[in-house]
């Protein structure tokens, strides 16, 4: 059985079954023979039931009396779940995932940078500076690079002073971590520190338009990195992130919701 570090046999079963659902080996509406799958994976029914509870929590399966355990439609899946994202990447759905992530970031992060420049506090600046310093130290350490990058973008959203925007980290962070693993594993990525530093400097200077433009430049470089990295990963073959689309300037947002 494939390794699922730190989670034992139960986690391995979650890994195996979840990946089979996400990649389409089990199709929408398929009834899962729990006993037969337990025998195939050489685990007890207790382990199977516990694993299926985890997958149900991710929206992948459900169970009904007289119907049994079945695969739910994709529209019911928790596509923001870190495991689901990882299974999609490993199963060849990276193109769609990276496209969707790029779209979300292009809509959210330039506007967030604009607002952060207007609303940031000294504490927010400290968080951004700490994340950037960690990014500089992390070069060559894939896990540390991904963590530092996530910390920077989390701090950026927090610096908007908007609690709802800050919670968008739940949407962005799992996909961002997978994007970082893809890019940094390739070894030909653009050095992320200068582009992140320009965003930080504009926020420090309270230069809202400059922060927005710096973030757009960062996102363009991020899309180029994914485009270069894709051929090096067989499981991500064909992954191409689109160019970062133009987004309306924040100054064009109705005055009622301006900072």
What is 116-160 written as a DSSP string? HHHH--HHHHHHHHHHHHHHHHTTT-HHHHHHHHHHHHHHHHHTT
Q: pLDDT at residue 42 above 70?
A: yes
Q: pLDDT at residue 231 above 50?
A: no
CA atoms within 13 A on the CB side of 113: 30
pLDDT per residue over 177-190, tens digit each?
Answer: 888 888 776 666 67
Q: pLDDT at residue 240 above 60?
A: no
- Token pair listed for 102: 């790029």
pLDDT for residue 177:
85
Contact 153, 173 (CB under 8 A): yes
According to DSSP, the β-strands at 61-64 and 31-32 are unpaired
What is the rounded average pLDDT for all residues in the chain? Answer: 85
pLDDT for residue 227:
80
State the average pLDDT over residues 109-119.
97
Residue 132: pLDDT band by 50, 70, 90 thresholds? very high
CA dist list (Å): 65 to 35, 69, 70, 149, 255: 16, 9, 11, 46, 54
- Which of 175, 160, 156 lies closest to 104, judged by CA? 175
- In DSSP terms, 61 is beta-bridged to 71
Residue 143: pLDDT band by 50, 70, 90 thresholds? confident
- Token pair listed for 4: 């699922």
pLDDT per residue over 56-68, tens digit each?
Answer: 999 999 999 989 9
- In DSSP notation, 53-93 reads HHHHHTTSEEEETTTEEEEPPGGGS-TT-HHHHHHHHHTT-
State the average pLDDT over residues 212-236.
77
State the average pLDDT over residues 32-49.
94
Q: What angle do CA 128, 132, 138 make, to 5 degrees?
A: 145
Q: What are phi and psi of 120, to 5 degrees?
A: -65, 150
State the average pLDDT over residues 75-96.
88
Determine what percent of the chain is predicted with pLDDT higher than 70.
84
pLDDT for residue 95:
80
- pTM for this structure? 0.74
pLDDT for residue 250:
41
């Amino acid at each position: 059985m494939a390794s699922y570090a730190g989670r034992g046999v139960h986690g391995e079963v979650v890994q195996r079954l979840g990946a089979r659902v996400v990649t389409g080996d089990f199709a929408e509406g398929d009834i899962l023979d729990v006993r037969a799958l337990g025998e195939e994976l050489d685990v007890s029914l207790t382990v199977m039931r516990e694993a299926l509870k985890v997958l149900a929590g991710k929206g992948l399966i459900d169970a009904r009396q007289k119907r049994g355990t079945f695969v739910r439609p994709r529209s019911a899946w928790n596509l923001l779940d870190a495991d689901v994202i990882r299974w999609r990447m490993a199963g060849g759905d990276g193109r769609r995932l990276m496209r969707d992530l790029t779209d979300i970031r292009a809509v959210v992060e330039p506007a967030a940078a604009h607002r952060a420049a207007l609303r940031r506090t000294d504490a927010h600046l400290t968080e951004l500076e700490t994340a950037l310093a960690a990014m500089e130290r992390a070069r060559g350490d894939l896990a540390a690079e991904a963590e530092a990058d996530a910390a920077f973008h989390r701090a950026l959203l927090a610096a908007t002073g908007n609690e709802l925007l800050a919670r968008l980290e739940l949407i962005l962070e799992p996909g961002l971590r997978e994007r970082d693993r893809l890019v940094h594993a390739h070894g030909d990525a653009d050095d992320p520190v200068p582009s992140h530093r320009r965003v930080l400097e504009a926020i420090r200077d309270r230069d809202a338009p400059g922060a927005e433009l710096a973030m757009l430049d960062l996102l363009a470089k991020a899309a180029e990195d994914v485009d270069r990295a894709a051929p090096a990963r067989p499981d991500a073959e064909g992954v191409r992130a689109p160019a970062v689309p133009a987004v309306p300037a924040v100054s064009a947002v109705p005055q009622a919701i301006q900072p």
